[in-house]
A and B are shown apart, each in its own frame.
Chain A
Amino acid sequence: MIKAKKIFQQLPLLRNIIINKRTGSLFFRFKPEGIVQRISMTQKKITGIDIDTYLPQLFSLPIYEYGWSSKITLTPDSYSDAITATVCGTIDQVQWQPKTQLTLKKSFSMLPAIQVLNRRPEIIWPDMKAYATLYNFAKRAENATPANFLALANDNDEETRFLKVLVMAYCLGFITSKSSQTSNIALRILERIRKV
């Protein structure tokens, strides 16, 4: 287990796991005295004891320690659907404390300008309106930073919805930083090659 240097360090880790379609086990705890939780990522689903409690917490609590152990599988094609559906469903349902929301907002506000890769992602995301707003914002805004996107929210509810779509798009790899042309191109080729 590694001590988290940043309070929401589980999000970049999840992003890395999901983007690379890795399988294995994620270990974590939220407090030094807490019990170590484990969730397993197979190619088909995310499983674990009390997953209904711990998966939402992964998206709503600052982390204390975490670890990852990979399991190698050589059939990466069949990975994504159920996993992304679970992640989407969890983020959609999550209830943030005001303090958590503020912390997440601050973290995302540190990201540089982003681009959104798909106009309509092939996922089940209930709030497509927020997604479309994000997509159009990233396409048109002169300085498409998450901070500027969140500033578009008219009230607290909308800010929550905007923050949720950001967390989802970040974790599933639908956004990349605008300066990373390479990963943008590689993602486009990846989508194409899956259909070959």
Chain B
Amino acid sequence: MKKEIAKILITGPFNSGKSTLIEFVSDEQHTSNDVETTDELAQFKALTTVSLDFGVLHVDDTLDVHLFGTPGQARFNFMWQTLSKGALGTVFLIDSSNQRAIDEAKQMYQFYRETSTMPIIIAATKQDLSSAQSLASIATTLGVAEESILSCNPCLKDDSKKVIIALLELIIKEESVSEAFF
């Protein structure tokens, strides 16, 4: 029996915690330097010097989740856009201690919103560092409500799980058997 594959994208600037998060929620993790990276990632390998993450989570005999880490810089938006076809949703990691990344995140978030209707969870990493900007200030820069940004330290397994759980719950919520039936 052929396995179904569900895709989840993890995007964010260099050093925002993508690899760490993917490691915690995958059974197997690869980078684009591995030989057996998927064809989907292989097409991008020559185009970027950053390593692209790829993780697999086995759900059961008939379902695998593929987690793709894509670099969160505006010049790589095309990658996110290509990989997002058929994906369930995106986790957008923002390094709270990197002012340049936060500024760029605004443009990227706007791009995601304008080019896709996919559920997106925003998570601010490195909130434990003294140089971190507050969630409120990041929310203001991005133009979203403070409650819609989660604080996450991907080095903690429970935090990594929490973000994926929040994304899945958002997906279900948007798909829920709706009020229209009653």
Contacts and interface: CB of A to CB of B under 8 A. Distances in A.
Nearest to A185: B6
Interface in B45-73: 57-60, 63, 65
Contact of B182 (A11, A189, A193, A194): A11
Nearest to A110: B181
A16 B169 CA distance: 10
Interface residues of A, number: 39
Interface in B157-182: 157-158, 161-162, 164-166, 168-169, 171-173, 175-179, 181-182
Contacts of B171: 182-183, 186
A69 to B, nearest CB: 12
A119 interface: no
B150 interface: yes
A19 B182 contact: no
B26 to A, nearest CB: 9
A173 B25 CA distance: 24
A12 B57 contact: no
B168 A19 contact: no
B172 to A, nearest CB: 5
Given A182-B88, A186-B172, A193 B25 contact: yes
Given A107-B181, A189-B63, 16 more contacts: A7-B182, A9-B179, A12-B182, A15-B176, A19-B169, A20-B169, A74-B162, A107-B182, A182-B171, A183-B176, A185-B4, A185-B88, A186-B168, A188-B60, A189-B6, A196-B24
Interface in B19-46: 24-25
A74 B182 contact: no
Interface string A97-138: 000000000010011100000000000000000000000000
Contacts of A188: 59-60, 63
B114 interface: no
Contacts of B6: 185-186, 189
Contacts of B150: 74
Contacts of B125: none
B148 to A, nearest CB: 10
B147 to A, nearest CB: 5
A32 B63 CA distance: 49
B16 interface: no
A7 B179 CA distance: 11
Interface string A1-45: 000001111011101100111000000000000000000000000
B151 interface: yes
